[in-house]
Amino acid sequence: MAERTWTLGELLQWTEQHLAQKGIESPRLDAQVLLAKAADCRRIDLYGMRHGEIASPETRQAFRQLIAKRLEGCPVAYLVGKKEFYGLEFEVSPAVLIPRPDSEHVVMECLKLAKPMAEPRIVDIGTGSGNLAVAVAKHLPHALVTAIDASAEALAIAQKNADRHVGQCVRFLQGDLFGPLAPEERFEMVVSNPPYIPTGEIPKLAVGVRDYEPHLALDGGPDGFAVFDRLIDQARRHLVAGGYLVVEIGALQEKSARERLQGLDGYELMPTIYDYSGHPRVLVAKLAPTGPPEIAQANGLGNRQ
């Protein structure tokens, strides 16, 4: 018996229903994105010029493979190799976290604070795909942007994303937190989306996160603050007096995170920024004009005889 022929539109409709029955959270969008990948077309074409087109055997086979991996839990972004963030398309792979819309609030706050600055120096700690650094560089062409990550694989992807959107405008360095920087190097702004999930919570995460996204970028230690605590302490040594720290936090971490910042000399806390769902998402702290004594001396602002 001859195999049934399917139009792209029929494949789309059937797969959407199938994904919904399997409990996939966004069956329609997933079906659209994956079929567009298999058919090498735009999503909009599936409802337009190619809706009634007969799907080739190659398209059907590629689509079946993508759907099978999606049902195993693999995120759509990894299956298609890209994710949109702040209006830009970023290449992604399992070497980097998938950019989330809530992280756009880090970019928005950075752009707001940097607006009056003539040539701000900005460093992104733990850049991953480069989404924060590249989005900032795209909208602040006069900024001097540095991006640091411990993973060489992540930096390779971030470099590709920078080359695509902003050319050679971002400096990439490999290492732990501020380690690759010279001790005297200073910035007007430090931005970061550090690992903040407590180690014990990782096995409870959705399968797409737990089994596919890099644990190096997720695991915040026993209490979720292992990287955060080091980040906020070291940032004081690389911020100019009056510079800003803009850092993403977990939705349940606001109280503890603010207390940690308040416990360090030199920071002046600003209001918490909430994400699209109304959850606490970004903390902003300004380094005082003098900062703590040891930082003030490092910045040449200590007491003079």
pLDDT per residue over 95-113, tens digit each? 999 999 999 999 999 999 9
Question: Is pLDDT of 301 > 70?
Answer: no
The arithmetic mean of pLDDT across residues 180-207, rounded, is 96
What's the 3-state SS for the chain?
A: CCCCCCEHHHHHHHHHHHHHHCCCCCHHHHHHHHHHHHHCCCHHHHHCCCCCCECCHHHHHHHHHHHHHHHHCCCHHHHHCEEEECCEEEECCCCCCCCCHHHHHHHHHHHHHHCCCCCCEEEEECCCCCHHHHHHHHHCCCCEEEEEECCHHHHHHHHHHHHHHCCCCEEEEECCCCCCCCCCCCEEEEEECCCCECHHHHHHCCHHHHCCCCHHHCECCCCCCHHHHHHHHHHCCCEEEEEEEEEECCCCCHHHHHHHHHCCCCEEECCCEECCCCCEEEEEEEECCCCCHHHHHHCCCCCCC
Residue with tokens 């969008």: 29
CA angle 107, 81, 274 (to 5 degrees): 25
93-298 — its CATH code?
3.40.50.150
Q: What's residue 4's pLDDT?
A: 80
The pLDDT of residue 291 is 56
How is the chain split into domains, by residue range? 8-72, 93-298
Tokens of 21: 């029955």
Token digits of residue 289 = 């004009």
Q: How many residues does the chain have?
A: 305
Q: What pLDDT is stored for residue 292 in this prediction?
A: 52
Report how far Cα 73 is from the mean position of its chain's Cα atoms.
20
The structure tokens listed for 40 are 């090498």
- The answer on pLDDT for 187 being more than 60 is yes
Alpha-carbon distance 98 to 79, whole Å? 12
pLDDT digits (tens, 9 = 90+) for 215-270: 999 999 999 999 999 999 999 999 999 999 999 999 999 999 999 999 999 999 99
Strands 239-248 and 280-287: antiparallel
Q: Quote the distance between the C-alpha of residue 281 and its chain's center.
A: 13
Angle at CA of residue 164, ends 175 and 128, nearest 5°: 30
pLDDT at 200 over 90: yes
pLDDT at 305 > cutoff 50 = no
Contact 103, 132 (CB under 8 A): yes
Percent of the chain predicted with pLDDT > 90: 90
